[in-house]
């Protein structure tokens, strides 16, 4: 079991020592010059009844985003095919729901079938799940389910009030019981303290099993949301979070997720050195901008990094 005190001691160590340890752990478990490419598609955008303070898709915020219906299965498969042909090996599909309704599950299952038929790993994020819903997604062949805890339990109520921290942990348990791999991380730069970022990782590392995928998002301030004026996290502080995640969850994929458009190449290089080994590719990330594939290809070439192949995952 990890304690906050032990994790904080690592986090607050001299930066070079922290990075050396993180890179050592990373090399023991992964090829340090391979990064997994994932693609994220919003299959149902906007109109979400949750009040997450960072989210452009919440119906509680005036962000100018128009709600859409669930995307047609054929279109999802077509987008996944393009992503696969561009080098992505995992396809993530996100719907702005509190939880999926029974009438929507048939289409969701068809999307999973279609994407798996392309030879890609599948991931979905659809809000809260009960045990029956998780079991149906497992039966459909879903590989990963994403459900972030977002921040520490202490700071959680400052960000979200429409569902509890315990609700999120319950969904994670349903996903784990069903046999689906867990994708769970958080968002930094939401006005939280350093100890909240550490405590968030302690919660993840103390789950019955480590999440197989740990996305670390840097807040993208969205006009119209309560966090539109949040003070950005300093780059060195962000890299410390990546390094700590790698050390505490050595076999997990640590994904450099939202916020990469605001990162310099040098900051991303430090994140890869600290143990990040997965990114989202493509021009958009749900509703936010993301570095284009050309830019990522150039960065990989400069760093000597290669995309990870599916059979190596």
- Indicate which residues carry an active-site annotation: 48, 52, 55, 92, 123, 183, 255
What does the block give as tokens for 74?
Answer: 């054929």
Cα gap 71→88, rounded to integer Å: 20
3-state secondary structure of 122: strand
3-state secondary structure of 242: helix
What does the block give as tokens for 256?
Answer: 């450099």
3-state secondary structure of 48: strand
Cα gap 213→278, rounded to integer Å: 9
Cα gap 166→205, rounded to integer Å: 16
**Of 135, 178, 124, 128, the residue nearest 149 (C-alpha):** 128
């Amino acid at each position: 079991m990890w304690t906050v005190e032990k994790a904080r001691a690592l986090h607050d160590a001299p930066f070079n020592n922290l990075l050396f340890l993180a890179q050592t752990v990373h090399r023991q478990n992964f090829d340090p010059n391979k990064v997994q490419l994932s693609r994220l598609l919003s299959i149902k955008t906007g109109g979400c009844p949750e009040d997450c303070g960072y989210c452009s898709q919440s119906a509680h915020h005036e962000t100018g985003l128009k709600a859409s219906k669930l995307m047609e299965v054929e279109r999802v498969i077509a987008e996944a095919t393009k992503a696969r042909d561009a080098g992505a090996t995992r396809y993530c599909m996100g719907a702005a729901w509190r939880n999926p309704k029974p009438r929507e599950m048939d289409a969701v299952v068809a999307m999973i079938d279609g994407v798996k038929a392309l030879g890609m790993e599948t991931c979905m994020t659809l809000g809260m799940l009960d045990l029956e819903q998780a079991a149906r997604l497992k039966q459909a062949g879903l590989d990963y389910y994403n459900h972030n805890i977002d921040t520490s339990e202490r700071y959680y109520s400052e960000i979200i009030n429409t569902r509890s921290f315990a609700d999120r942990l319950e969904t994670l348990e349903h996903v784990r019981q069903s046999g689906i791999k867990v994708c769970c991380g958080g968002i930094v730069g939401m006005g939280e303290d350093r100890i909240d970022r550490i405590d968030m990782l302690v919660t993840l590392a103390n789950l019955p099993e480590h999440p197989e995928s740990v996305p670390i998002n840097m807040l993208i301030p969205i006009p119209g949301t309560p966090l539109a004026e949040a003070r950005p996290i300093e780059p060195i502080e962000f890299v410390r979070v990546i390094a700590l995640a790698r050390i505490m969850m050595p076999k997990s994929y640590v994904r450099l997720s939202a916020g990469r458009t605001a990162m310099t190449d040098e900051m991303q290089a430090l994140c890869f050195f600290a143990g990040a080994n997965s990114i989202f590719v493509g021009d958009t990330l749900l509703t936010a901008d993301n570095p284009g594939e050309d830019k990522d290809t150039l960065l990989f070439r400069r760093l000597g990094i290669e995309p990870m192949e599916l059979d190596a995952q």
